[in-house]
Structure formats: structure tokens, C-alpha cells
């Protein structure tokens, strides 16, 4: 291949990424659910005729993008070639074939150019409701968690499946929002298809085959170059997390060799009877993400760059849950997996991976109704919140930041607009960042109340309340999470619970852990933390062994 042709294909690669980015932004702009519109809990990508992901949008989450990479081939297993029609849109929310739980809807649409199938566009979005018990850990099987949509056609050659819409209407609390999101997903793929047609017309290409092979070859070679630079061997780590009513142990053994990196979760706790189980497709997604962040963060995500990272787990373990296990809150455990693999990678790459963070999102789902059985509007409201990230070897952790999920902060104004709920406080939580040479990121505090005349139940989906994030290289623990009412009543970190009218729910999200000994933190950084309200004077004395007055005097000098 000539140098000019290589440059041309690199330009086309960048163009393709812009195509799928516009695809994702279409979903954000048209979505009904605040989880998509405000938080960006979605994914979008383009795939070749074999179902291999060529490019993904930058906008989106690893749990969606990396599961979708595998999910598209599951769609192709259902629809033979003669049933793949121009104008089709295919749909599912099957946890084991899609993204790990029922609240995510995946849509796949064949893309035709000049009458010939050239690939597929796919996207995923988290919807506000799927019926059943609602978004929570209380179900005892997936059958209790909501309506299951098998892989089927949402639109057949451009004709929408009205029978599917009727089923959704009678099984959901918020059918308007969910059906609206289904149309948004279809529109998202249609925009991707139109931009691809424009690209093919302008470039003179007849299909994506040559460009796909160019992308795959360079992505795999670049990823393997990074892996081959690592010290080969086997590295192990274990981490304990809260679980539901008893703690869970997550154990991984990483094997680094000349064929890639394999993560084996042998020894991890078994399935829970509550809905915190993780289908393997989701465990693979976040394991690969953690490994890729540490080893090859700058290489674009596609099938070839993900292929060297493989995952196995015993069937029936918490990270390879078998149907019909309840899986609604698979993210609470699944989003801890990057921290688990980071702990193993620290042995191969000392001084290169961060300390543990709050990790899993501090999601909360509210079910609001008039107090005392009165008449009025009922509403389902979902909000995403984040604790702090772990400190990095040379930098402090990030405050109230969704890692590894990557969703955006949901403005309280947008959340209040969706239902009768009031947020009295949403601010950083002082002292929640673990002490160290680099300080862990702070969690946040939220104070929430139903609007006058209303009460609510809420689904708690929180971790790091009993087992806080652990420091690395001598760093201190992050602050543990707290769930309570404003009168001091302690609540459970998981499960549906009631908040009476007039009472406020207080959420104190967990903080990230520190990196390196606290004694090595520069005085000017401690002083800045003190002045910024990140730590109190008592915490400076207890965690850093420093006198706040001396720090102030040094500043004045």
C-alpha cells in the first residue's frame, strides 16, 4: 500500500469516527429518558457485514460499547441473510445477549449502499422503566425484573412492529418515554447510515471492507506492541465489596503473554440471590476496559483492539451469572472490575495504575406518589451520581467523577423537571478523599425530598459503604458511603426503601483512596485542600500529622 493510500485511509478512519459520533449525538438530542439525554448513558457504533465493530462513538459508556461489540453478532445469529432487509431495525434487551440487564435497549440496523449490505449501525440506551419491580436489586429472578424483549424486529423493511409497541404500553409505568426512546434509537442508526452513504459517495468507495481491514490490522498491531512491552507472567489480586446482605470477593488472575492478556475470575464469589449478578458479557466489557485504560488507552476501540483482552469466569459465579439470575444492578459489581484488574497490573506496572475509587455509580431511582393515597401525578425518576476516583501516582483523584462508567453529571434542574422532587443540596463531601502523596477524589453529598404533598420509595444501588476503596503504595482508604434520613435513621445501601412525606434522604457518596504515603504530600497541597474545604483542620492533624497553624504560617512567609 502506498503512503498516499495509507494517509487516505487514515482520513477515512477519522471520518468514520465522526459519523458514529454524530450518530450518538442524535440519540442524546432526541432521547426521552434523562439517563440518555443528560447523562449520556448510551453507545453507538458501526460494524462490518460480519458483525465486527469498526468504530465506536467517543460519547458513551464502556458497559454499553464493549458489550455491543459482542451483541451485534448475537443478532446475526438470529436473522439469516435473507431476512436482513433494507429499512430493518432489530431490538432486544436480553441481558445475556445485549448489555447485561433489562434496562438497556439495543437497536441494530442493517446499512445498504446501492442495494448491497455494507454493514450495520448499532446503539444502546438505558431506559427509565421496563416494568416488573423497577430498577433495583430486590428481584429473585430476571422474570421479576421487567419485560424481556427477545431479539426481534422493531421495524420490518421500514414498517414498525405495532404489536411490540402494544406489549410495551401495557407492561411499563412510563410507556411514552420508553417507546419514544425506541424511536430515538432507530433514528440514531438512520443518521449513521445517511452519513455513511455521504462518505461512500464522496470517497468513491463501494463498501467498508478495505477500510475495515486497514483499521483492524493497525489496531491489533498497536495493541499487541503495548502488550509485548509488559513483563510476561501471572499476576493476581482480590478485592472485597459490600454485596447485598453479605460481602463479595472478586478475585482475578491476569496472564500476560505474547498472545494477549487473559483475565480469569476463578475463586470469585458465587451468584447472589439478589439482583447484583453480572452476565459474562458485561464482566468482559469492564475487564477489557480496565486493561485497555492501563495498557493501550490511546488506541481507538474496535473489535481488533479489544480482541487481545480475553476473560473467563466459572459459570454460576457473580461475574458469570446464569439465566434466570436477577441482574438489574449488574453495574454495581461489574464496575468494580477495573479496580480488581488494576490491583493485579500494579505488580506488572508498579507506579502506573491508580488507587481504588468509589467505582460503581451511585444511581438512585425514585418512585414518587401523592402522600396518603391522594390524587395527583405519579412519576419514575432516575438519577446518576458519582463518588470520587482513586488517586493517581502523580495526580490527585477526580472529585465526583464517574469512572469507569464515564456517564455525565445529571443536572438537578433536569431531574426536578421530570417529577415532584426537590434537591436541597448537592455538593462535594469534605474529608472523603483518601490521604496520600496524591489525595483520593472526593465523593458528594445529596439532600433530597419529595415535593410538598408527595412521598417516595427509592431504590438504593450503592457500594463502598462497608468496604471503602483501598489505597495503593501506602495511601489511605477513601471515605465510606453513607445512606440515611435527615433524622439520623440509617438506611440500607441496596434495595427499595420508603421515605415518608416531610423527611429528607441524605446520600454521602464514597471517596477515592490515596496513593503513596500521606507524609510525602507537599505542604502546599495540604494547605490548598484546607483552604478549599476538601479537608478539615482535624483531618489534617489526623491523616497527615501536620499542624494547620504551621501550614498557614509557612504560606504567609
Burial zone of 7 (CB within 10 Å; 0-12 exposed, 13-18 middle, 19+ buried):
exposed
Q: At what angle do helices 175-203 and 3-30 cross, to 10 degrees?
A: 160
402-441: b (≥16 Cβ within 10 Å) or e: bbbbbbbbbebeebeebbbbebeebebbbbbbbbbbbbbb
Instruction: Report the distance separating Cα 386 and Cα 436, nearest Å.
Output: 21
CA distances from 506 to 214, 329, 387, 457, 491 (A): 52, 21, 14, 14, 10
Beta bridge partners of 56: 45
| 557 residues of the chain, pLDDT tens digit each | 788 888 899 999 999 999 999 999 999 999 998 889 888 899 999 999 999 999 999 888 899 999 999 999 999 999 999 999 999 999 999 999 999 999 999 999 999 999 999 999 999 999 999 999 989 999 999 999 999 999 999 999 999 999 999 999 999 999 999 999 999 999 999 999 999 999 999 999 999 999 999 999 999 999 999 999 999 999 999 999 999 989 999 999 999 999 999 999 999 999 999 999 999 999 999 999 999 999 999 999 999 999 999 999 999 999 999 999 999 999 999 999 999 999 999 999 999 999 999 999 999 999 999 997 777 778 888 899 999 999 999 999 999 999 999 898 888 898 898 899 999 999 999 999 999 999 999 999 999 999 999 999 999 999 999 999 999 999 999 999 999 999 999 999 999 999 988 999 999 999 999 999 999 999 999 999 999 999 999 999 999 998 888 877 655 55
pTM of the model as a whole = 0.95
Question: Domain extents for the chain?
Answer: 3-219, 354-521
3-state secondary structure of 17: helix
Is 380 in contact with 149 (CB distance < 8 Å)?
no
H-run or E-run covering 154:
strand 152-156
DSSP string of 502-527, one letter each residue: T-EEEEEPPPPPPBS-GGGS-HHHHH
CA dist 112 and 197 (Å) reads 9
Amino acid at each position: 500500500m502506498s503512503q498516499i493510500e495509507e494517509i487516505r485511509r487514515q482520513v477515512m478512519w477519522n471520518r468514520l469516527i465522526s459519523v458514529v459520533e454524530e450518530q450518538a449525538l442524535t440519540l442524546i438530542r432526541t432521547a426521552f429518558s434523562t439517563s440518555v439525554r443528560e447523562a449520556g448513558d448510551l453507545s453507538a457504533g458501526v460494524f462490518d457485514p460480519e458483525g465486527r465493530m469498526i468504530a465506536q462513538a467517543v460519547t458513551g459508556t464502556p458497559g454499553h460499547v464493549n458489550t455491543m461489540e459482542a451483541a451485534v453478532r448475537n443478532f446475526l445469529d438470529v436473522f439469516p441473510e435473507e431476512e436482513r432487509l433494507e429499512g430493518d431495525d432489530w431490538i432486544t434487551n436480553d441481558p445475556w445477549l445485549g448489555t447485561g440487564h433489562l434496562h438497556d435497549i439495543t437497536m441494530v440496523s442493517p446499512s445498504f449502499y446501492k442495494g448491497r449490505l455494507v454493514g450495520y449501525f448499532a446503539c444502546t440506551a438505558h431506559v427509565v422503566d421496563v416494568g416488573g419491580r423497577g430498577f433495583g436489586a430486590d428481584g429473585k429472578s430476571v422474570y421479576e425484573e421487567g419485560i424481556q424483549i427477545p431479539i426481534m424486529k422493531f421495524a420490518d423493511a421500514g414498517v414498525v412492529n405495532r404489536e411490540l409497541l402494544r406489549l410495551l404500553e401495557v407492561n411499563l409505568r412510563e410507556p411514552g418515554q420508553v417507546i419514544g426512546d425506541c424511536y430515538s434509537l432507530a433514528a440514531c442508526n438512520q443518521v449513521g447510515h445517511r452519513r455513511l452513504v455521504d462518505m461512500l459517495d464522496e470517497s468513491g468507495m463501494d463498501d467498508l471492507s478495505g477500510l475495515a481491514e486497514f483499521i483492524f490490522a493497525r489496531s491489533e498491531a498497536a495493541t499487541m506492541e503495548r502488550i509485548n512491552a509488559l513483563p510476561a507472567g501471572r499476576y493476581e489480586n482480590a478485592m472485597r465489596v459490600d454485596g447485598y446482605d453479605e460481602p463479595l470477593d472478586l478475585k482475578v488472575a491476569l496472564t500476560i503473554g505474547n498472545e494477549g492478556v487473559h483475565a480469569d475470575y476463578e475463586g470469585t464469589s458465587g451468584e447472589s440471590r439478589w439482583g447484583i449478578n453480572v452476565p459474562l458479557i458485561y464482566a468482559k466489557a469492564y475487564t477489557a476496559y480496565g486493561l485497555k485504560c492501563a495498557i493501550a488507552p490511546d488506541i481507538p476501540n474496535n473489535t481488533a483492539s479489544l480482541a487481545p483482552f480475553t476473560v473467563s469466569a466459572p459459570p454460576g459465579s457473580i461475574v458469570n451469572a446464569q439465566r434466570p439470575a436477577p441482574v438489574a444492578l449488574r453495574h454495581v459489581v461489574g464496575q468494580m472490575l477495573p479496580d480488581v484488574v488494576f490491583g493485579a497490573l500494579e505488580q506488572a506496572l508498579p507506579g502506573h495504575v491508580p488507587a481504588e475509587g468509589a467505582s460503581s455509580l451511585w444511581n438512585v431511582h425514585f418512585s414518587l406518589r401523592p402522600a396518603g393515597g391522594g390524587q395527583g401525578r405519579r412519576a419514575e425518576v432516575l438519577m446518576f451520581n458519582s463518588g470520587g476516583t482513586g488517586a493517581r501516582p502523580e495526580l490527585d483523584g477526580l472529585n465526583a467523577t464517574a469512572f469507569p462508567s464515564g456517564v455525565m453529571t445529571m443536572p438537578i434542574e433536569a431531574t426536578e423537571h421530570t417529577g415532584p422532587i426537590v434537591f436541597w443540596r448537592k455538593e462535594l463531601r469534605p474529608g472523603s478523599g483518601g490521604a496520600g502523596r496524591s489525595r483520593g477524589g472526593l465523593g458528594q453529598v445529596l439532600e433530597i425530598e419529595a415535593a410538598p404533598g408527595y412521598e417516595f420509595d427509592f431504590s438504593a444501588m450503592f457500594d463502598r459503604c462497608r468496604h471503602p476503596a483501598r489505597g495503593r503504595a501506602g495511601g489511605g482508604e477513601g471515605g465510606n458511603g453513607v445512606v440515611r434520613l435527615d433524622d439520623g435513621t440509617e438506611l440500607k445501601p441496596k434495595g427499595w426503601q420508603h421515605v415518608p412525606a416531610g423527611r429528607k434522604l441524605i446520600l454521602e457518596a464514597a471517596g477515592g483512596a490515596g496513593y503513596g504515603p500521606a507524609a510525602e504530600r507537599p505542604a502546599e497541597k495540604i494547605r490548598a485542600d484546607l483552604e478549599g474545604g476538601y479537608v478539615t483542620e482535624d483531618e489534617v492533624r489526623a491523616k497527615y500529622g501536620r499542624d494547620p497553624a504551621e501550614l498557614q504560617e509557612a504560606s504567609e512567609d
